[in-house]
Amino acid sequence: MFLRQCFRKKDGKRHAYWALVESYRTDAGPRQRVVAWLGKLDEAGRLGVEQAARDGHPPHSKASTTACGEQQLSLFDQPRDKESVQPQWVEVDASGVRVENCRQFGSPWLALEVIRRLQLDEFLKRVIPVGREHVLWWRSALILVVARLCRPSSELYVAEQWYPKSALPQLLGVPADRVDDNRLYRTLDQLLPHKAKLEAHLKNRLGELFDLEYDLLMYDITSTYFEGQANFEMAQRGYSRDQRGDCKQVCIGLVVSRCGMPLGYEVFSGNTADVTTVEHIVTTMETRYGKSNRIWVMDRGMVSEDNIDFLRKEGRRYIVGTPKSMLKEFESELLKDDWNSIRDGLEVKLCSRPCDDDGSDPDKDAGGKDAGGKDTVEEDKETFILCRSRDRSHKEEAIVGRFEEKIEERLVSMTARCEKQNRDPMKVEREIGRLLGQNTRAAKLFEVTVEKTKDDAARIVWKKVEAARDWATLSAGCYLLRSNVTGWSDEDLWKAYIQLTEAEAAFRIHKSDLKIRPIWHQKEDRVLAHIFVCFLAYVLWKTLSQMCEQAGLGSEPRRILDELSELRMMDVVLPTRDGIEIRKRCLSKPTDHQQILLDRLKLRLPKINQTEM
Please write the tens of the pLDDT for every residue from 174-184: 999 999 999 99
Spell out the domain ranges in the chain.
1-76, 327-355+381-482
Give me the phi and psi of 223, to 5 degrees please.
-135, 155
Is the predicted pLDDT of residue 83 greater than 80, yes or no? no
Q: 254 near 217, Cβ under 8 Å?
A: no
Burial (Cβ within 10 Å: 0-12, 13-18, ≥19) of residue 30: exposed
pLDDT of residue 613: 56
Cα–Cα distances (Å) from 606 to 117, 225, 551, in that order, read 16, 41, 21
pLDDT of residue 578: 79
Three-class DSSP labels, 364-403: ECCCCEECCCCECCHHHCCEEEEEEEHHHHHHHHHHHHHH
- Mean pLDDT over the full length of the chain: 87
Least confident of 112-126, 239-253, 460-474, 599-613: 599-613
Looking at the chain, the whole-number percentage of residues with pLDDT higher than 90 is: 67
pLDDT of residue 139: 95
pLDDT of residue 54: 60
Q: What is the pLDDT of residues 214-224, one digit of tens each?
A: 889 999 999 99
| CA-closest candidate to residue 606, choices 116, 75, 135, 122 | 116
Least confident of 44-58, 269-283, 412-426: 44-58
* pTM for this model (two decimals): 0.81
- 241 compared with 76, residue with greater pLDDT: 241
Q: What is the pLDDT of residues 362-417, one digit of tens each?
A: 555 444 454 444 444 344 688 999 999 999 999 999 999 999 999 999 999 999 99
Q: 483 near 352, Cβ under 8 Å?
A: no
Q: 255 near 297, Cβ under 8 Å?
A: no
Q: What is the pLDDT of residues 152-165, one digit of tens each?
A: 999 999 999 999 99
Q: What is the pLDDT of residues 443-486, one digit of tens each?
A: 999 999 999 988 889 999 999 999 999 999 999 999 999 999 99
Least confident of 59-63, 300-304, 537-541: 59-63
What is the chain's Cα-based Rg? 34
Least confident of 328-337, 354-363, 397-406, 579-588: 354-363
Cα–Cα distances (Å) from 551 to 261, 356, 567, 575, in that order, read 18, 56, 20, 44
Measured in whole angstroms, how far is the alpha carbon of residue 578 from the centre of its chain? Answer: 54
Least confident of 50-64, 303-317, 588-602: 50-64
- 94 compared with 114, residue with greater pLDDT: 114
Q: Which amino acid is at 511?
A: K
pLDDT of residue 373: 47
Cα–Cα distances (Å) from 222 to 251, 307, 323, 576, in that order, read 6, 19, 19, 61
Q: What is the pLDDT of residues 104-128, one digit of tens each?
A: 999 999 999 999 999 999 999 999 9
Residues 552-576 have a mean pLDDT of 92
pLDDT of residue 93: 86
Strands 216-225 and 249-256 come out as antiparallel
Q: How many CB atoms lie within 10 A of CB 478?
A: 19
Q: Alpha-carbon distance 547 to 116, whole Å?
A: 13
Q: 117 near 206, Cβ under 8 Å?
A: no
Q: Which amino acid is at 46?
A: R
Cα–Cα distances (Å) from 22 to 35, 74, 270, 381, in that order, read 6, 12, 56, 74
pLDDT of residue 581: 85
